[in-house]
Amino acid sequence: MTLAKIVYASMTGNTEEIADIVAEALENLDIEVEINECTQVDPEDFEDADICVIATYTYGDGELPDEIVDFYEELQEIDLSGKTYGVCGSGDTFYDDFCKSVDDFDAAFTKIGASKGADSVKVDLAAEEEDIQNLEAFAKKLAEAVK
């Protein structure tokens, strides 16, 4: 069975909800899902997965959340060639660098050889109906990329 690993960082619960929406959508497509908070896993855990997903928020003026910095740095030291990835997350359009952490992880996955399975999804604060539809479409594209 296809395995998706979702790793998230969430301060207010918005990004955890985003991760849960993606997880449920993947499970509805008969994909096994493991979901973990970023401080509970290592980037090497992605080596066992077919689909690698990061859900992160962006802090302040475009910074990675403190709790995911180590994960981000260690991720760039492994090889995920042959893996499919996707990145999603939340931010606040009030800031100039809206969802920059999503872009940072997107670039990191590309650098370590993973293949982009779906365009990144950026959510302004909490996921609303249109965001949920976009996240479900994101999950579907990820699933199709590994079939």
**Mean pLDDT, residues 77-104 taken together:** 97
**pTM of the entire structure?**
0.97
Instruction: Provide the pLDDT for residue 129.
Output: 98
User: 18 with 89: CB under 8 angstroms?
Assistant: yes
Instruction: Residue 95: count other Cβ atoms within 10 Å of its Cβ.
Output: 14
Per-residue HEC secondary structure of 69-86 comes to HHHHHHHCCCCCCCCEEE
Instruction: Provide the pLDDT for residue 22.
Output: 98
- Domains of the chain, earliest start first: 3-145 (3.40.50.360)
Instruction: Provide the pLDDT for residue 47.
Output: 97
Instruction: Residue 35: count other Cβ atoms within 10 Å of its Cβ.
Output: 19
Instruction: Provide the pLDDT for residue 69.
Output: 98
**Mean pLDDT, residues 92-99 taken together:** 94
User: 46 with 17: CB under 8 angstroms?
Assistant: no
User: 140 with 27: CB under 8 angstroms?
Assistant: no
User: pLDDT digits over 7-53, tens only?
Assistant: 999 999 999 999 999 999 999 999 999 999 999 999 999 999 999 99
Instruction: Provide the pLDDT for residue 3.
Output: 98
Instruction: Provide the pLDDT for residue 123.
Output: 98
User: 127 with 21: CB under 8 angstroms?
Assistant: yes
Please name which of 116, 140, 109 lies closest in space to residue 24, comparing C-alpha atoms: 140
Instruction: Provide the pLDDT for residue 147.
Output: 83
Instruction: Provide the pLDDT for residue 144.
Output: 98
Tell whether the model's pLDDT for residue 124 goes beyond 90: yes
Q: Which residues of 58-76 are buried (b: 16+ CB within 10 A; e: fewer)?
A: bbeebebbeebeebbeebe
